[in-house]
Structure 1
Amino acid sequence: MNKKTSERPVFPFVSIIGQEEMKLSLILNVIDPKIGGVMIMGDRGTGKSTVVRALVDLLPPIEVVENDPYNSDPYDTEAMSDEVLEKIKNKEKLSIVQIKTPMIDLPLGATEDRVCGTIDIEKAISEGVKAFEPGLLAQANRGILYVDEVNLLDDHLVDVLLDSAASGWNTVEREGISICHPAKFILIGSGNPEEGELRPQLLDRFGMHAQIKTVKEPSLRVKIVQQRELFERNPKDFKEKYRKEQEELMNRIVIARKNVKNIDIKYELLEKISLICSELNVDGLRGDLVTSRAAKALVAFEGRNEVTEKDIFTIITLCLRHRLRKDPLESVDSGFKVQETFKKVFGY
């Protein structure tokens, strides 16, 4: 397949109108992947997959070890496959290449073997080698794994994805043979609430939850349609028009990634975040952790160095609304409860 046919034009991220919740959630996860991914819920035809693809197109290339199926980081032993570690141990020279940040689309009908990889037992027994065929989790390492209609995916498979996303590793075990490889990726799930929500236990494990609605404002709808038509007519010119803005946003993300670890959050603010979680009966500490991480990522993105109350208010709904749901038949809170509790705790 030549490069021209394999690379389809991608809509520029900065030209996307509206859907601020979704865009902010995605940017914050790219700045700090430890936030734990995003669940995007919204009506059909609201551009969920367009925004995700646009985000990946915005990201800088990454350096990988050439011909390594796991996109191993040549400088970080925590993000290397066993084969690359072996080469380093034997003082072999690594060939390093740059690739685009990987984005893997998980097809709805994917089997566990396709996702996690398979072990060739016969080969392992007859030849005494660990014959492993890597799956989609290996390809997604150091990139983004996108699951459209994640709410229609088998619960067990969602569990596997969430486990890998949280631990950064994928382990495949069969007939007493075990293979482990790095699988650090940002998990982005999207779905239509009319087709059912994820179970509360699974939903809670997504770092953030963005809700998107169809734009109602007629003038904005017209603008969105016009943008799309202009892009389809001449993708190259359309992208060129937004190139400078795209580059500025990419630089902001790159700088924020470096600075996020230096951001401070005062103890009193952490205490208030925990008080909000406690008032809302949020189970576990995941809500507290994600809220403070997301607030720091927002501060880094805006080029500041200390978290304020306003930062917490901006992101707290995205971090907590999906953790309030105890009954599987209930729908996810629009954010009203979270905002009311925030105002009560912060004395507004």
Structure 2
Amino acid sequence: MNSRRVVFPFTAIVGQEEMKLALLLNVIDPKIGGVMIMGDRGTGKSTTIRALADLLPEIDVVADDPFNSDPNDPDWMKTDNSLPDLRQTVKKKVPMVDLPLGATEDRVCGTIDIEKALSEGVKAFEPGLLAKANRGILYVDEVNLLDDHLVDVLLDSAASGWNTVEREGISIRHPARFVLVGSGNPEEGELRPQLLDRFGMHAEIRTVREPAMRVKIVEERAEFDQNPLDYIQKHQTPQEAMQEKIVSAQEKLPHVEMDYELRVKISEVCSELDVDGLRGDIVTNRAARAIAALEARNEVTVDDIRRVIVLCLRHRLRKDPLESIDSGYKVDKAFCRVFGLESATEQN
């Protein structure tokens, strides 16, 4: 165990509730479509994402398989004669792959060795980062600085669950199901709206302003740095409890129901906000079910929708450069109008 890299425990992270919730919901239902985390530098974005990957329970994979294939899911398995005996199963940590900013398309998607393919008549494929990230988390820091074409490739694979590499008439396809997490600093530029819209959720995080909270964060980090193993041991019970909660939420998810009226109201909110396409409706429905599953409930409530709708819609609104109103506030106002509730600002 000590040979593994020590990671700050997820349950010990102070604050940033919006980011933590968005990440948890995507782990419970990866079909939500990933998270875009925008916020100031030094707000614990990468620490939180690594902590989540470390928290997740181990998965069954086919031994020595470069695609982390699931032995219990033959449809998603890469069928290739070059693979080892498919009956051998091992347990493995959920993969967490960092995509470096300067990565090329070959490094991301993988490459085909044409020479070997022509001389030996075999499909010689060198897997890339998408293969490594299958059934795990793919993290792209500073995603707004990444080449648009590469972002497109990542989003396509995340949505379809497959990666296809074609070269000189040879085509290779392999499973690439992963939770795509992008982070960035808005000061360094926004993603193009059409790419932003493809992310399921959009969490905004800001530097904590409250002095007492800042002191707590600094103290927790100092304690971890001083003796990581002791610190991890201290947080083992809440970590295990959170892990169990995630597993039972994943099992409960297919049984969570949502009233027809609530679904209609979600679509009303999207329509009132003039959200293009139906992605906003689909993601809000999925996220509301995931939060109910996380809290071990079988029915979605209005409050569940309220807690996820800003995360699901704020990045889908059309931007007016002259408008100073925060998009999250606009979503909340529209939600309150449609559901006949008082907005948070009116309550204060």
Report if TM-score (shorter chain) is over 0.5: yes
- Counterparts of 2:44 and 2:325, CA distance in 1: 21
Where does structure 1 lack aligned partners over 5 or more consecutive residues?
none
Q: How does 1:1-348 map to 2 (within 5 A)?
A: 4=2, 7-83=4-80, 94-326=87-319, 333-348=326-341
- Deviation at 1:239? 1.0
Matched pairs, number = 341
Percent identity of equivalent pairs: 69
Q: Deviations over 1:273-297 (max 9, x none)?
A: 0000000011111000000000000
What's the secondary structure of 1:8's corresponding residue? coil
Q: Does the aligned pair in 2 maintain the 1:321–1:332 contact within 8 Å?
A: no
Q: Does the aligned pair in 2 maintain the 1:106–1:148 contact within 8 Å?
A: yes
What's the secondary structure of 1:145's corresponding residue? strand
Q: Does the aligned pair in 2 maintain the 1:256–1:303 contact within 8 Å?
A: yes
Taking a change above 3 Å as real, the CA distance of residues 120 and 85 of structure 1, as seen in their structure-2 partners, is closer
Q: Deviations over 1:285-319 (max 9, x none)?
A: 10000000000000000011100111100100000
- Deviation at 1:85? 11
Taking a change above 3 Å as real, the CA distance of residues 185 and 331 of structure 1, as seen in their structure-2 partners, is farther
- Counterparts of 2:326 and 2:82, CA distance in 1: 46
- Counterparts of 1:330 and 1:115, CA distance in 2: 38
- Counterparts of 2:59 and 2:270, CA distance in 1: 37
Where does structure 2 lack aligned partners over 5 or more consecutive residues?
342-348
- Counterparts of 1:282 and 1:309, CA distance in 2: 20
- Deviation at 1:334? 4.3
- Counterparts of 2:5 and 2:68, CA distance in 1: 22
What's the secondary structure of 1:83's corresponding residue? coil
Taking a change above 3 Å as real, the CA distance of residues 268 and 139 of structure 1, as seen in their structure-2 partners, is same
- Counterparts of 1:50 and 1:101, CA distance in 2: 16
- Counterparts of 2:138 and 2:327, CA distance in 1: 26
What's the TM-score once normalised by structure 1's chain length? 0.95
The amino acid across from 2:104 in the alignment is: T
What's the TM-score once normalised by structure 2's chain length? 0.95
Q: Deviations over 1:193-214 (max 9, x none)?
A: 0001100000000000000000
Q: Does the aligned pair in 1 maintain the 2:65–2:83 contact within 8 Å?
A: no
